[in-house]
Structure 1
Amino acid sequence: MGPKPGQKTVLITGCTPGGIGHALCLEFHNKGVHVIATARNPAVLAEMAEMGMSTLQLDVTDETSIKTCHDEVAKITGGKLDILVNNAGRTHTHPATDLSIPDVRETFETNVFGVMAMCAAFSDLLISAKGLIINIASLAAITPYVFGSAYCATKGAVTSYSRTLRLELKPFGVRVMVVMAGTIRSNIASKTHRTLPPGSIYERVRDVFERRLTFSQNNATVNTDKFARKLVAKALAPEWPLLLRSWFGRPDWFWGGGNATRVWIATWFGEWILDFALYRMIGMKKLEKVLREEERQKKLK
């Protein structure tokens, strides 16, 4: 079932139930937008298909999959796409000194190169509709999220890429919104996590690392549907002049989720305040104490 005449369309990546993409699908659908939900395994989208949404297979790391999806979307929408939401992503929690570079490359393939590939591939449909691109970034892009250096790097790349993309597509009438997402309830906590490798210098505080694995699900975490409602409302808001967008129209930057407001305010005071807060919040002071005790024991020998 395709969109009705005059009905807006949205394509969302990474729509597996339990995550942000799924919540966005439901909210856009409730607002009367024709949703095109995608996932690597389209079988998980069956319930959304029954609701009247279009569902397609899509792997954002596969060029052929993206091309096939593009062609299918063009058929469904008649050659236009009003909104593209680049939501598909991969978590990556590991100390910087323990990173496996092939593993890091996989994270960049999904979180960064997948976003770039989707924007390039669907630019023609977005230009035809003078549409909107929504790139889901994270507060991790600007915070020293301890044990998340690889993930932070990918989200930092997305924010920088999006700022330039915004200017490049402005002459064609396409807008770009960056979502600075805070802690949001999702199925991320059920994923298989990385572990500290033998000999890690952080073995001393393994409990700190293990608490960090589910930090986003236990610290000011906002329900996914609440986050989706606010984001969709902004995505569907009318256009306003640049200086008024953040308050009344579709903003260039959307800050939402747990701790988003606090981090936004902190950026006005310098990075030291985020360094100070995250260092203690994650538990790195405990590592300092452990190392001091080790030094003391060495001196006693």
Structure 2
Amino acid sequence: MGPQPGQKTVLITGCTPGGIGHALCLEFHAKGVHVIATARNPAVLSEMAAMGMTTLALDVTKTDSIKACHDAVSNLTGGKLDILVNNAGRTHTHPATDIDLADVRETFETNVFGVMAMCALFADLLITSKGLIINIASLAAITPYVFGAVYCASKGAVTSYSRTLRLELKPFGVRVMVAMAGTVRSQIASHTHRTLPEGSIYQRVRGLFERRLTFSQNNATVETGEFARKLVGSALAPEWPLLLRAWFGRPDWFWGGGWSGKVWLSTFFGEWLLDFVMYRMIGMKQLEGVLREEERQKKLK
């Protein structure tokens, strides 16, 4: 079943049940927007299809898959799309000195290049409807999230890309919103995680690294549905002049999830504050102690 005449449409990437994309689908659907839910395996979206949503296969790392999805959406909607939500993403928790570049490239293919490809290929449908792009970024884009250098870099790239995209598409009437997501409940804690290699300099504090793997699920974590309600509310808010958007209308920047308010406030004080907090929160002072003890033992020999 396609959209009804005059009904707004939204395409969301990465909609596997249990994540932010799935919660956004349910919330947009509840608000009367026709949802086009996508996943690499559309079979996992069967419950959403039964609710009346359109479900399509989409792998944001494959150009052919994006093109096929674009053509299907164009046929479904008559050549337009009101909202594109680039939600599909990949976690990457590993010390910067232990990275495998092939693994890093996979993360950037999904988190960065996939976003760029979706925006480029769906631009024509969004221009027709003078629509909205929502790129799901993260507080990690501006936070020194220890053991997350690759993930931070990928989300930092998304925020910088989105700022420029906003200006490039402004003449065509297309808005770009960046969602600075904090800690939000998801299935991340059940995923297979990376491990420290045998020779890692962080084997000394292996416990810190292992606790960091599930940090986002145990620290001021906001329920997925609550995050989705707030983001969808902002996405469907009326337009206001530029200087008033952050308070009244559809914002250019959406801050939501655990720690989002505190991190936003910290940006007024300079990066030293976030450095100070994250260093101690993750437990790097413990590593300092371990290294001092190692030095002391060397001197005693």
User: Which interval holds the TM-score relative to the shorter structure?
Assistant: over 0.9
Task: Look up the match of 1:195.
Answer: 195
Aligned residue in 1 for 2:53: 53
- How do 1:121-140 and structure 2 match up within 5 A? 121-140=121-140
RMSD of aligned alpha carbons = 0.3
SS at match of 2:84: strand
Match of 1:120 in 2: 120
Distance 2:273 2:4 in 1: 50
- Deviation track 1:85-112 (CA, whole Å, cap 9, x = no partner) reads 0000000000000000010000000000
Give the superposition deviation at 1:276. 0.3
SS in 2 for 1:248: coil
In the other structure, the counterpart of 1:21 is 21
- 1:262 corresponding residue in structure 2: 262
What's the counterpart of residue 93 of structure 1?
Answer: 93
Residue aligning to 2:274: 274
- Counterpart of 1:73, as a letter, is V
Which ranges in structure 2 are unaligned for 5 or more consecutive residues?
none
CA distance in 2, matches of 1:286, 1:80: 54
CA-CA distance at 1:167 after TM superposition: 0.2
Q: Deviation of residue 247 (structure 1)?
A: 1.1
- 1:15-64 deviation line (CA, Å, top 9, x unaligned): 00000000000000000000000000101000000000000000000000
Question: SS at 2:298's partner residue?
Answer: helix
- The one-letter code of the counterpart of 1:115 is V
Cα deviations by residue, 1:191-238 (Å, 9 ceiling, x for unpaired): 100000011000000000000000000000000000000000000001
In the TM superposition, what is the alpha-carbon distance from 1:125 to its structure 2 partner?
Answer: 0.2
TM norm structure 1: 1.00
Are residue 211 (structure 1) and residue 226 (structure 2) matched? no
Note the alpha carbon deviations across 1:264-289, whole angstroms, 9 max, x for none: 00010000000000000001011000
Q: Which residue of 1 aligns with 2:241?
A: 241
For 1:230 and 1:243, the matched residues in 2 are separated by 21
Shift of 1:75: 0.9
* Matched pairs, number: 301
1:58-207 matches, cutoff 5 A:
58-207=58-207
* Secondary structure at the counterpart of residue 194 of structure 1: coil
Instruction: Give percent identity, aligned residues only.
Output: 83
One-letter code aligned to 2:44: V
Residues in 1 aligned to 2:88 and 2:188: alpha-carbon distance in whole angstroms: 12
What letter corresponds to residue 234 of structure 1 in structure 2? S
CA shift at 1:248, angstroms?
A: 1.0
The structural deviation recorded for 1:81 is 0.2
Letter in 2 for 1:62: K
Deviations along 1:132-178, one digit per CA (max 9) or x if unpaired, are 00000000000000000000000000000000000000000000000
Aligned-partner Cα distance in 1 for 2:252–2:163: 9
Letter in 2 for 1:170: K
